[in-house]
Amino acid sequence: MTGADCRTFIQLVPYEGYGVFGGKDFYAYLAELNGVPAGNDGVTRQAGIEMIYKDNPSGDLTVVERRDRLVVPRLFTGWDTVKLV
């Protein structure tokens, strides 16, 4: 699904565990959004994990956004109230 500002939205089903939401691995998606070519999911996933936890053992995404200026996916619920224009 794409919004008016051309951002892509992926509707997620309930959390499946281990960073997987609706069949999409969060870490692999993070890596893809930041220029790592999609392909071998294990390699792509590891790249995403390293992006978050490099010098950031807590995994705080706000640190990563500010420090590395990475594009970080936002996860939220409430799609029933979202209106894309």
* Element at 66 (helix H, strand E): helix 61-68
CA distance 45 to 16: 16
pLDDT < 70 stretches in the chain: 1-17, 41, 74-85
**pLDDT of the residue at 8:** 65
Q: Are strands 15-17 and 24-25 parallel, antiparallel or unpaired?
A: unpaired
Interval 56-77: pLDDT, tens: 888 888 787 777 778 777 665 5
pLDDT attached to residue 83: 61
Average of per-residue pLDDT values in the chain: 75
What are the domain boundaries of the chain?
24-76
Within 13 Å of residue 6, how many CA atoms lie on the same side as its CB? Answer: 0
